[in-house]
């Protein structure tokens, strides 16, 4: 391509025995959005780090406008117009937006800081690209989506013409992600060239002009977005056919859990407002909604870590009042917490310790922990749930996200829980792991477990759930049968429009 | 008695104040709390113990009083730092200074007074070995501290309590989600640390050097905190570290006895110099600290 602003040709990089990048070439045109698609460990981030000068490639070169970029020099990369938006922002929470954007752009030897000119430049950029933020807001007060906007503005302020975004949606809600992609398209129209790294099929299909698939350090395919589809991309990315499983028809059993009129307040804010739900054995009830609408509180309520203000909880026909964590475990409620790193597992402890922590009474006698029983239990989970990359004594932190989630699923499902509470169980996992997690949830359903699936992924809920309720601002909609809804109707429900049932059907 | 014999005979006793205080702080830090008030807690325990023994209360009662007193003082720390989620570093320093102040105040009328120490118990057989046998003639508290070291090692390695304390320190949110009360566990850990610091102070004041002088703890609480770090939060290494400091502090005395012409201040500062050097060496290998470091150390827990 002659009018390419960026040309990467024949780049290889080896770390020890691991060939992270194997002779990769790619080019990027002006005003183009290219997605770099691949599973974790496919070499996406390594390639971008070479582009940005963090790593020196073993061979190959990077050309910007036909000029070779000196390897291993981040400053030259910035000067050549490359801007990087990292997954974890490099911003200071205590400074204002303007101060964050200006940081590092002025010479230390000048005493006066030209704030007025900087403010003018920032405002020009933010109106031109539709990235609206208050320059005087303290960064720590902004939402994650807004902070990301600041990170992008910072790159543009440094006159970036090529913008690289590393898994930009990993930290965003769906709504924020959609807004981000609209902005990226506007930016491309203004002549910027963009590369974004992702392992999510939906978003590369929605946002990119061209998709480059990496697998095991090699470029395996390059497709214009218009000429491919998700199934093909998934196969290219994983290297074999992976289909997400879909529920088969079944007849649910008795009501396992019934919640009527429950409200919960936390720190004086009403997080759940008089919710009703009923969950049967052998069915999956999907709770869909944009995160931050009370899902976390609902999960905490049913796992026994928050108290209700009013309403009733009935477990297997018995009113239980408030649940305690112990009560929940004893009643056979398995829990997959939303934030697996913070609440699900303790990274610094061994796999077997994480496996037994929740059920210590079973694995201890006279106050002593039965190590060998615990390790055997962990080995059983590892085998049955295909947890790769660790033995019982391995530190849990060393597992990949997908394998950690399999461990958490395993320690819950191995005891055949009567109720399973799964909060965002597949969030952030790569495609192969998503399919594995979904299969496990369906297996639990077949085994007669009552599964409550909290998710913000429409596709996930429609594929797995028998019935669906939307959660909006602490309220739960009435349940609808999954085979009687489509994405449009669910979208309306997620926006809070379920009261006027006939109007919805009218609108369709 | 030559210098080597002298050091072998006295090392464990000299190590005991370090060891007791460091074991307590180990439990506190493993639960995720940083209590920098150890020096003051020891000083407070020391004065209580001295007063009890001086007035004829006996050694057993003096240790009980010191343990309880320092535990109460450490609970003040817990209330402020854990209950009100104040900054743990600042709170710990303040409680430490308070403890030292109380110690000076209560000890004022006892300055330079002496009490009787504890008799040494020789282990049969072992104490008759030439040279190394010197190690096996110690007072009862030394033997009990060795037992405490073993008990704490067993606790972290094999017991339910140990597992739960570690979980609390590594990831309080997960511990809470699993159903343990993070705050209660941390309060208990801090109280245990306080009790151990009290014992350490008591040992220093009524057994090791049974004489009251203001400021007699002389930085041993700080060294105990350093010991926890350079033992990389492992019980066995903390024990070895305590022995090293015990030996080094005796080296000064031994050197003086052999008539070495070195100012006594230089010799007295040996343990502190060794602390700095050993900490430097340990910190050079970041892996050691990172591997065993407590993930949530010093951070307040909020749901």
For the segment A179-217, what is each residue's pLDDT rounded down to a tens digit?
A: 889 989 999 998 999 999 988 888 899 899 999 999 988
Q: Does the beta carbon of B183 lie under 8 angstroms from any beta carbon of chain A?
A: no
Q: Does the beta carbon of A303 lie under 8 angstroms from any beta carbon of chain B?
A: yes
Q: Which residue of A has its CA nearest to B295?
A: A348
Q: Do B174 and A344 touch (CB under 8 A)?
A: yes
B56/chain A closest Cα distance in angstroms: 39
Mean pLDDT of chain B: 91
Q: Do A353 and B163 touch (CB under 8 A)?
A: yes
B179/chain A closest Cα distance in angstroms: 5
Q: Which is more confidently placed, B287 or A203?
A: A203
Closest in B173, B179, B295 to A326, CB measured: B179
Which chain B residues touch A304 with a CB distance below 8 Å?
Answer: 179
Long-range contacts of A439-442 (CB under 8 A, 24+ apart): A439/A245, A440/A385, A440/A406, A440/A409, A440/A413, A441/A284, A442/A245, A442/A247, A442/A284
Q: Which residues of A298-329 are buried (b: 16+ CB within 10 A; e: fewer)?
A: bbbbbbbbbebeebebebbeeebeebebeebb
Mutate to test the interface with A, among B179, B180, B181 (most CBs of A within 10 A): B179
pLDDT at A502 over 50: no
**Token pair of B36, please?**
């920098």
Q: Which is more confidently placed, A494 or A105?
A: A494
At residue B38, the pLDDT reads: 97
Q: Do A353 and B295 touch (CB under 8 A)?
A: no
Question: Which spans in A342-486 are helix H?
Answer: 351-356, 371-384, 401-413, 431-446, 458-464
Q: Which whole-number Å values give the CA distances from B281 to A97, A357, B185, B251, in the listed order?
A: 42, 35, 33, 21
Q: At what angle do helices B38-54 and B182-203 cross, to 10 degrees?
A: 50
Closest in A346, A360, A367 to B174, CB measured: A346
Mutate to test the interface with A, among B156, B159, B160 (most CBs of A within 10 A): B160
pLDDT at A320 over 50: yes
Q: Do A342 and B171 touch (CB under 8 A)?
A: yes
Mutate to test the interface with B, among A351, A360, A377 (most CBs of B within 10 A): A360
Q: Which residue of A has its CA nearest to B180?
A: A325
Other C-beta atoms closer than 10 Å to the C-beta of A25 total 13
Closest in B159, B163, B173 to A343, CB measured: B173
pLDDT at B14 over 80: yes
Q: Do B177 and A368 touch (CB under 8 A)?
A: no
Q: Does the beta carbon of B173 lie under 8 angstroms from any beta carbon of chain A?
A: yes
Distance (Å, whole) CA A444 – CA B185: 35
pLDDT band at A499 (very low <50, low <70, confident <90, very high): low
Closest in A325, A347, A364 to B178, CB measured: A325
Closest in B158, B159, B167 to A346, CB measured: B167
Rounded to an integer, the average pLDDT of A404-416 is: 91
Closest CA to A431 of A203, A197, A218, A237: A237
Distance (Å, whole) CA B211 – CA B225: 25
Domain boundaries, chain B: 3-110+139-292
Lowest-pLDDT range of A58-62, B11-15, B208-212, B287-291: B287-291
Which chain B residues touch A364 with a CB distance below 8 Å?
Answer: 159-160
Q: Does the beta carbon of B155 lie under 8 angstroms from any beta carbon of chain A?
A: no
Mutate to test the interface with A, among B155, B159, B174, B294 (most CBs of A within 10 A): B174
Rounded to an integer, the average pLDDT of B191-200 is: 98
Closest CA to A214 of A6, A22, A13: A22
pLDDT band at B124 (very low <50, low <70, confident <90, very high): confident
Rounded to an integer, the average pLDDT of B179-207 is: 96
At residue B190, the pLDDT reads: 98
Q: Which residue of B has its CA nearest to A345?
A: B174
Closest in B160, B177, B295 to A360, CB measured: B160
Which chain B residues touch A345 with a CB distance below 8 Å?
Answer: 171, 174
Q: Do B158 and A371 touch (CB under 8 A)?
A: yes
Residue listed under structure tokens 């997959």: A336
Rounded to an integer, the average pLDDT of A139-145 is: 84
Q: Residue B173: phi, psi to the nearest 5? A: -65, -45
Quick one: DSSP state of residue A29?
Answer: E
Residue listed under structure tokens 């369906």: A442
At residue B52, the pLDDT reads: 97
Mean pLDDT of chain A: 87
pLDDT at A500 over 70: no
- Of 1.10.287, 3.40.50, 1.10.3470, 3.90.25, the CATH number of B3-110+139-292 is 1.10.3470
A262/chain B closest Cα distance in angstroms: 21
Q: Do A368 and B158 touch (CB under 8 A)?
A: yes
Reported as a single tens digit per residue, the pLDDT across A6-49 is: 999 999 998 877 888 999 999 999 999 999 998 877 888 889 88
pLDDT at A138 over 70: yes
Q: Does the beta carbon of B301 lie under 8 angstroms from any beta carbon of chain A?
A: no
At residue A57, the pLDDT reads: 92
Q: Does the beta carbon of A305 lie under 8 angstroms from any beta carbon of chain B?
A: yes
A272/chain B closest Cα distance in angstroms: 17
pLDDT at B282 over 80: no
**Token pair of A117, please?**
């000119």
Which chain A residues touch B158 with a CB distance below 8 Å?
Answer: 368-369, 371
Q: Do B177 and A343 touch (CB under 8 A)?
A: yes
Q: Does the beta carbon of B160 lie under 8 angstroms from any beta carbon of chain A?
A: yes
Q: Does the beta carbon of B170 lie under 8 angstroms from any beta carbon of chain A?
A: yes
At residue A508, the pLDDT reads: 42
Distance (Å, whole) CA B110 – CA A174: 71
Q: Do B177 and A348 touch (CB under 8 A)?
A: no
Distance (Å, whole) CA A303 – CA B156: 28
A51/chain B closest Cα distance in angstroms: 30
A305/chain B closest Cα distance in angstroms: 7
* Beta-carbon contacts below 8 Å between A and B: 64
Which chain B residues touch A342 with a CB distance below 8 Å?
Answer: 171, 173-174
Which regions of chain A carry the CATH code 3.40.50.300?
Answer: 4-238, 255-507
Distance (Å, whole) CA A60 – CA A53: 13
Distance (Å, whole) CA A349 – CA B296: 13
Q: Which residue of B has its CA nearest to A354?
A: B167
Q: Does the beta carbon of B290 lie under 8 angstroms from any beta carbon of chain A?
A: no
Which chain A residues touch B176 with a CB distance below 8 Å?
Answer: 305
Q: Which whole-number Å values give the CA distances from B294 to B28, B30, B157, B174, in the listed order?
A: 11, 6, 16, 14
pLDDT at A505 over 50: no
pLDDT band at A507 (very low <50, low <70, confident <90, very high): very low
pLDDT at B224 over 70: yes
**A177 and A203 in contact (C-beta within 8 Å)?**
yes
Which chain A residues touch B163 with a CB distance below 8 Å?
Answer: 353, 357, 360, 369
Which chain A residues touch B233 with a CB distance below 8 Å?
Answer: none
pLDDT at A277 over 80: yes
pLDDT band at B34 (very low <50, low <70, confident <90, very high): very high
pLDDT at A332 over 80: yes
Closest in A303, A346, A368 to B171, CB measured: A346
Distance (Å, whole) CA A303 – CA A297: 10
Q: Do A369 and B158 touch (CB under 8 A)?
A: yes
pLDDT at A506 over 70: no
Distance (Å, whole) CA B244 – CA B227: 10
pLDDT band at A58 (very low <50, low <70, confident <90, very high): very high
Residue listed under structure tokens 């050197």: B255
Q: Which CATH class is domain A255-507?
A: alpha beta
pLDDT band at B188 (very low <50, low <70, confident <90, very high): very high
- Of 3.40.50.300, 3.30.1330.60, 1.10.260.40, 3.40.50.2300, the CATH number of A4-238 is 3.40.50.300
Which chain A residues touch B303 with a CB distance below 8 Å?
Answer: 305
Rounded to an integer, the average pLDDT of A269-298 is: 91
């Amino acid at each position: 391509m002659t009018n390419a602003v960026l040309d990467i040709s024949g780049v290889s990089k080896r770390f020890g025995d691991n060939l992270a990048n194997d002779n990769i070439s790619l080019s990027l045109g002006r005003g183009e959005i290219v997605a770099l698609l691949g599973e974790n460990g496919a070499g996406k981030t390594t390639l971008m780090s070479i582009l940005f000068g963090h790593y020196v490639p073993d061979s190959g070169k990077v050309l910007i406008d036909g000029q070779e970029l000196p390897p291993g020099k981040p400053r030259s990369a910035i000067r050549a117009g490359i801007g990087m938006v990292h997954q974890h922002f490099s911003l200071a929470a205590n400074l204002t937006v303007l101060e964050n954007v200006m940081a590092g752009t002025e010479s230390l030897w000048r005493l006066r800081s030209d704030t007025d000119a900087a403010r003018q430049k920032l405002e020009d950029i933010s109106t031109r690209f539709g990235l609206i933020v208050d320059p005087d807001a303290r960064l720590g007060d902004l939402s994650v989506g807004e902070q990301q906007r600041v990170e992008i503005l910072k790159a543009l302020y440094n006159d970036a013409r090529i913008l690289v975004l590393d898994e930009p949606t990993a930290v965003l809600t769906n709504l924020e992600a959609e807004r981000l992609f609209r902005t990226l398209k506007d930016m491309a129209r203004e002549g910027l060239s963009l590369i974004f790294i992702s392992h999510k099929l939906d978003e590369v299909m929605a946002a990119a002009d061209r998709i480059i698939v990496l697998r095991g350090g090699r470029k395996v395919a390059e497709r214009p977005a218009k000429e491919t589809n998700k199934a093909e991309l998934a196969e290219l990315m994983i290297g074999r056919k992976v289909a997400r499983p879909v529920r088969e028809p079944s007849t649910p059993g008795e009501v396992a859990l019934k919640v009527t009129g429950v409200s919960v307040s936390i720190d004086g804010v009403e997080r759940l407002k008089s919710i009703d739900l009923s969950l049967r054995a052998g069915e999956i009830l999907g709770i869909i909604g944009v995160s931050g609408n009370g899902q976390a509180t609902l999960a905490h309520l049913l796992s026994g870590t928050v108290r209700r203000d009013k309403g009733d909880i009935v477990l297997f026909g018995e009113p239980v009042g408030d649940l305690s964590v112990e009560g929940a475990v004893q009643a056979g409620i398995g829990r997959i917490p939303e934030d697996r790193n913070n609440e699900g597992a303790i990274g610094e402890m061994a796999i077997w310790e994480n496996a037994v922590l929740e059920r210590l009474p079973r694995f201890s006698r006279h106050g002593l922990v039965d190590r060998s029983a615990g390790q055997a239990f962990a080995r059983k989970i590892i085998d049955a749930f295909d947890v790769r990359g660790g033995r019982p004594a391995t530190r849990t932190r060393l597992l990949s996200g997908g394998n950690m989630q399999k461990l958490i699923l395993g320690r819950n499902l191995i005891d055949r829980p009567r109720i399973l509470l799964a909060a965002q169980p597949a969030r952030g996992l790569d495609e192969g792991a998503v399919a594995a997690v979904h299969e496990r949830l369906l297996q639990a359903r077949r085994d007669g477990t009552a599964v409550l699936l909290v998710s913000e992924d429409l596709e996930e809920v429609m594929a797995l759930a028998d019935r669906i309720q939307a959660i909006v601002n602490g309220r739960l909609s009435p349940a609808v049968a999954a085979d009687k809804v489509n994405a449009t109707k669910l979208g309306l429900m997620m926006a809070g429009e379920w009261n006027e049932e006939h109007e919805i059907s009218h609108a369709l | 008695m030559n210098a080597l014999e002298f050091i072998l005979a006295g090392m464990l006793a000299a190590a005991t104040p370090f060891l007791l205080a460091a074991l307590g702080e180990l439990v506190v830090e493993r639960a995720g709390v940083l209590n920098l008030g150890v020096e003051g807690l020891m000083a407070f325990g020391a004065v209580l113990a001295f007063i009890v023994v001086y007035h004829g209360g006996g050694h057993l009662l003096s240790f009980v009083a010191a343990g309880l007193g320092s535990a109460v003082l450490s609970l003040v720390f817990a209330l402020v730092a854990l209950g009100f989620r104040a900054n743990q570093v600042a709170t710990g320093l303040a409680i430490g200074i308070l403890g030292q102040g109380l110690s000076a105040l209560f000890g004022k009328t006892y300055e330079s007074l002496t009490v009787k120490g504890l008799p040494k118990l020789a282990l049969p057989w072992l104490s008759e070995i030439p040279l190394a046998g010197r190690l096996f003639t110690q007072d009862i508290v030394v033997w009990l501290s060795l037992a405490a070291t073993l008990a704490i090692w067993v606790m972290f390695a094999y017991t339910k309590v140990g597992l739960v304390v570690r979980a609390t320190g590594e990831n309080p949110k997960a511990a809470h989600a699993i159903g343990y009360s993070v705050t209660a566990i941390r309060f208990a850990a801090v109280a245990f640390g306080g009790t151990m610091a009290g014992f350490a102070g008591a040992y220093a004041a009524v057994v090791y050097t049974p004489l009251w002088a203001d400021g007699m703890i002389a930085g041993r609480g700080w060294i105990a905190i350093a010991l926890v770090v350079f033992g990389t939060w492992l019980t066995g290494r903390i024990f070895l570290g305590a022995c090293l400091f015990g030996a080094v502090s005796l080296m000064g005395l031994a050197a003086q006895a052999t008539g070495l012409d070195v100012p006594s201040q230089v010799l007295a500062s040996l343990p502190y110099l060794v602390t700095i050097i050993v900490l430097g060496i340990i910190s050079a290998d970041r892996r050691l600290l990172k591997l065993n470091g407590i993930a949530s150390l010093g951070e307040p827990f909020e749901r």
